[in-house]
Amino acid sequence: MLIAMVASVGPSLHAEDNGGQLKRARDEVRPAGSSSSRPDHGSSHHHHHDDDGGGLFGFFFGSTSSNSPPTPVTYSSSNGASDHEMLPYPYADGQSGFLIRKPPAMLPDPADPTKLVPNTKRTYPVGAVLRAEYTDGGDGLNRYAVAGQATFVLLRIEAEGHRYIEHLDSGATDTLTLGTLGIAVALPAHDSITMLIGGGGSWYHDHYGNENGWYLKLGTEIFPIRPLVVSADVWGGFIRDDEFDDYSFLGGGRATLGVIWNRFELYGGWQATWIESVTLDGPTGGIRVWF
């Protein structure tokens, strides 16, 4: 399992009287600006629950014969566990997509269709992806993020860390850290299109402390034509203030277009984070490495 953590960049000063975008986001989670003077859980923009919810949840959701000369054997599962396998990276070995139907062990020889030869196309049952990206949030706000993913064909374990750093007009610096850890199920719609659905736990940290919660996620990966990679996802859930049993919405989304060469993808697009009514967004870019 890969756990993505973003390290703090230098000491931070927090100017509550001259706050920026991060202060507005923090005020949505901690309206009074300090844990000792927060309003009761009747606050209008929070969501109160009588139960002790907010914890983690569960999600787990033959070759065909032909007349001579033989035509290519149709893909089929050899063990019944899964009809799909992953390429080493998108478009590997001249194939299309990334998550493809499991190829047969033997294929017709291109030089002589009446003969079968071993299939040399590479597919893996396990893989990993690492990603690092930067977002310009405008007005002195910057986002640095890292993410890791362990992939087991149709099941993924995902972790992300987001570090927001805002340089205020007063010269002070404000910071906010977010993180998620969860699972996603990959639903192949086509060799070139994969839909993702999942969820997990979320984490919020500012200089007043930590809040934990949960999220749900929907996403897609599209491999239309070499070397293009289209990725999009949206996620959302709630973080919980244990002291007052208050919930605040926390979510995000991103859409990117990338160009891949071998195992390395450079991409750009748009990224957003939503904390109740506050939106932290901007153009984003980064690198993704497929293993």
Q: Residue 120's pLDDT is what? A: 66
Per DSSP, 291 falls in state -
The answer to whether the CB of 48 falls within 8 A of the CB of 252 is no
Per-residue pLDDT reduced to its tens digit, 84-120: 788 889 998 888 888 777 766 666 777 777 777 776 6
> CATH number of the domain that 169 lies in?
2.40.128.100
Q: Give the chain's domain count.
A: 1
User: What's at 208, amino acid-wise?
Assistant: Y
Chain centre to alpha carbon of residue 182: 9
Question: Considering the domain boundaries, does residue 116 fall inside one?
Answer: no
Report CA torsion sign: 67, 69, 75, 77: positive
Q: Give the chain's end-to-end CA distance (angstroms, integer).
A: 14
In 3-state terms, what secondary structure has residue 50? coil
Question: Considering the domain boundaries, does residue 274 fall inside one?
Answer: yes
Range of the domain at 284: 126-290
Is residue 190's pLDDT more than 50?
Answer: yes
Per-residue pLDDT reduced to its tens digit, 226-242: 999 999 999 999 998 77
Question: Considering the domain boundaries, does residue 34 fall inside one?
Answer: no
Question: Considering the domain boundaries, does residue 196 fall inside one?
Answer: yes
Is residue 35's pLDDT more than 80?
Answer: no
Is residue 266's pLDDT more than 80?
Answer: yes
Question: Considering the domain boundaries, does residue 58 fall inside one?
Answer: no
Question: Considering the domain boundaries, does residue 283 fall inside one?
Answer: yes
Question: Considering the domain boundaries, does residue 60 fall inside one?
Answer: no
